[in-house]
Amino acid sequence: MDNNFFIGNRQSLSNLIQGGVVVMTSYHAMQKSNDMAADFEQEANFKYLCGIGRPGWLMVHDGIRNHTWLIRPSIDINEMIFDGALSNDEALVISGADEIIDQVNFEALLQNIRRKHTTVYSITPKDFGNFVANPAQKLLCQQLERIFEKTIDIRDDLAKLRAIKQPIEIKALEKAIKITSEGFDKFRSTIDTLHYEYEAQAIFSYEIERRGAKHAYAPIIASGKNACTLHYVDNCSRLRARSLVLCDVGAKVDGYAADITRTLQFSKASNRQLSVHSEVVAAQRDIIDRIKPGLAVVDYLSYVDNRMHEAIKNLKLKASSQVDLVRRYMPHAISHGLGQDVHESLGKAEVFKPGMVLTVEPGIYIPEESIGVRIEDDILVTEKGHTNMSRMLSTEP
């Protein structure tokens, strides 16, 4: 990304908060096992504002002065030898920041800013259920609360900005989607030669990584009953004849993620399996056709419930009510935003707006029949309607 992108993002945020002071932290490096570090993934809001992809950095932006500081972490000689480090010159070129200071001077900078600003803007910690959150944001907020009278969360403001994709972001998404689609094409052409789910995963990994990309998330290769576990990632079962294989895979390019799902038959699927697949494909086509700027999100979700109810009823499945029927056999959301994060907020939007990118991923899961089908595409809302960015990839089983 050009540093003008990050400079512009900081200015847009500054306009939203009327020139206040923003203090942001990157994520910390985390342990994987013993002295091994986990693969590092940068906090997306931090990267959106300054482009720095390394752990331990901080950023301060004073909207009144229109001045941005980067605060580099303290790195000892051993860390430098083993892991390398980003130089000041490299960080300035990437971010378009005005100044870099060492971490030992960070508190003094905050104290100086406090003379004119009693309020500071940052991202406050959020509970993610079963996950243990990266500690960086909590530690920063504790420090800010000691110095400033008030810390205001700007998570929602950033979500509104990030929900509307700029042309440079759309290009990155298009590239990630193209690479993912090429992986699916290769998998489709070789599926009948495979024996295990992990062989399929290897095909996707090879096709993605040989093009200079990486997985945006742990790939799901789920055959038979495994497809009824929504986030199945073991990918170790034997492929059985007359079954379906659900593949949910996305490449990541320049920090932007694709998210595509197809369900293919291994050998010749049964008529029942193909009927479920056909209902999901038809429902997805109708749901995508509804997307346009100005469509109320509540109306979109209402249509989805009605359309999925129809699809599930066509398969002679039953429950006590329409809501129970849909939630039983499609227990996940129809859509989520897509961008730097695979599951990205649309900024609590009430209507769809041009520049939004979202998934459309209807699924029907019948555990008692060991059938799970999901079809997922990545949709860009345009000025006049929408574009299916992954339309080049067949939905045939």
Judging by DSSP bridges, how do beta strands 67-72 and 58-62 pair with one another? Answer: antiparallel
Whether 197 and 228 map to the same domain: the answer is: yes
Q: Is residue 126's pLDDT more than 90?
A: no
Residue 370 lies in a domain: yes
Q: Is residue 273's pLDDT more than 90?
A: yes
Predicted local distance difference test score (pLDDT) of residue 289 = 98
What is the total residue count of the chain?
A: 397
Integer Cα distance of 166 and 389 in angstroms: 15
Arithmetic mean of pLDDT over the chain: 96
Strand partners, 245: 223, 264
What CATH number should be reported for the domain holding residue 128? 3.40.350.10
Whether 363 and 222 map to the same domain: the answer is: yes
pLDDT, tens only, 134-156:
999 999 999 999 999 999 999 99
Whether 241 and 319 map to the same domain: the answer is: yes
Domain that holds residue 363: 164-388
Whether 150 and 261 map to the same domain: the answer is: no
Count CA atoms closer than 13 A to 34's CA, side-chain side.
0
Of 139, 162, 185, the one marking the end of a domain is 162
pLDDT, tens only, 177-197:
999 999 999 999 999 999 999
Q: Is residue 321's pLDDT more than 90?
A: no
Whether 248 and 348 map to the same domain: the answer is: yes
Whether 157 and 207 map to the same domain: the answer is: no
Q: Over range 53-72, report the average pLDDT.
A: 96
Give the type of residue at 192: D
Number of domains in the chain: 2
Residue 395 lies in a domain: no
Residue 364 lies in a domain: yes
Percent of the chain with pLDDT over 70: 100
Of 136, 162, 188, the one marking the end of a domain is 162
Residue 396 lies in a domain: no
Residue 129 lies in a domain: yes
Whether 206 and 64 map to the same domain: the answer is: no
Of 162, 195, 213, the one marking the end of a domain is 162
Q: Over range 306-333, report the average pLDDT.
A: 94
Q: Over range 355-366, report the average pLDDT.
A: 98
Integer Cα distance of 185 and 264 in angstroms: 11
Residue 393 lies in a domain: no
Q: Is residue 320's pLDDT more than 90?
A: no
